[in-house]
Amino acid sequence: MQMHYTLHQNNNEKRHSVDILDSILSSALVLLFVIDPFGNVPIILSVLKDVPKEKKRRIIIRELLAGLTILFVFLFFGQQFLNIFGLQTEAVTIAGGVILFVIGIKLIFPPQGGQSIYGSEGEPFIVPIAVPMIAGPSALATLLVMAQTSPLDMLGLSLSVLLAWFITLVILLCAPFLLKLLKDKGLQALERLMGMLLLIMAVQMFINGLMSLLKTM
């Protein structure tokens, strides 16, 4: 009897660990799609085109660290922002779904001229790499929704942010190689695929928020 209980407890713990890992990966993917590192590869190359080659890597790391700091500040203090304005979780979830839907549409149907939806003007110091490419309004709004609706605690969400940030860092550091390998068409195809996945997630987020709202009525 004791052995059966122990085995059952171990199975529950393993299942719980798998669920947590799935949630971390899922949250990291959503944030990664919002940041859209593949779509920002040409912009990074354009912004840093006049920077000596030996300094480019250092600038990218510095800017992404600044962006990561802003993401963490918003993750940990976003709740205070909600409290100040008296926003409900359902409203944030529905608004987040709408925002992700708009981003997904823009990834699939980019603006005329093939520019990034975040723009490319400015000096490569904080703007435009750290903000808004990494810690833009969309990413910050996504963090607000995650902090309110995710089953993960702050440690799990922090791991998700770090995972998405690290993948973004690797992609942007490899920007010249990726552009040479995939060309513009390949990067556009990846960006559109990310947009399709983001649209699906946005619709699900909107439905979840609407269902939660209806239950409170």
Q: How confident is the model at residue 141 (pLDDT cuts 50, 70, 90)?
A: confident
Q: Report pLDDT for 24.
A: 94
Q: What is the three-state SS of the chain?
A: CHHHHHHHHHHHHHHHHHHHHHHHHHHHHHHHHHHCHHHHHHHHHHHCCCCCHHHHHHHHHHHHHHHHHHHHHHHHHHHHHHHHHCCCHHHHHHHHHHHHHHHHHHHHCCCCCCCCCCCCCCCCECECHHHHHHCCHHHHHHHHHHHHHCCCCHHHHHHHHHHHHHHHHHHHHCHHHHHHHHHHHHHHHHHHHHHHHHHHHHHHHHHHHHHHHHHCC
Provide the pLDDT for residue 117: 45
Predicted confidence at residue 122, as pLDDT, reads 39
What confidence score (pLDDT) does residue 15 get? 65
- Average pLDDT, integer, range 62-67: 95
Instruction: Report, as an integer, the average pLDDT of 122-151.
Output: 78
Q: Which of 4-18, 113-127, 151-165 bottoms out in mean pLDDT, i.e. has the lowest?
A: 113-127
Nearest to residue 170, comparing CAs of 27, 60, 17? 60
Which range, 7-16, 76-85, 154-163, 176-185, is most confident? 154-163
Mean pLDDT over 97-120 rounds to 68
The residue with greater pLDDT, 204 or 72, is 72
Is the pLDDT score of 13 beyond 70? no
Residue 201 has pLDDT above 70, yes or no: yes
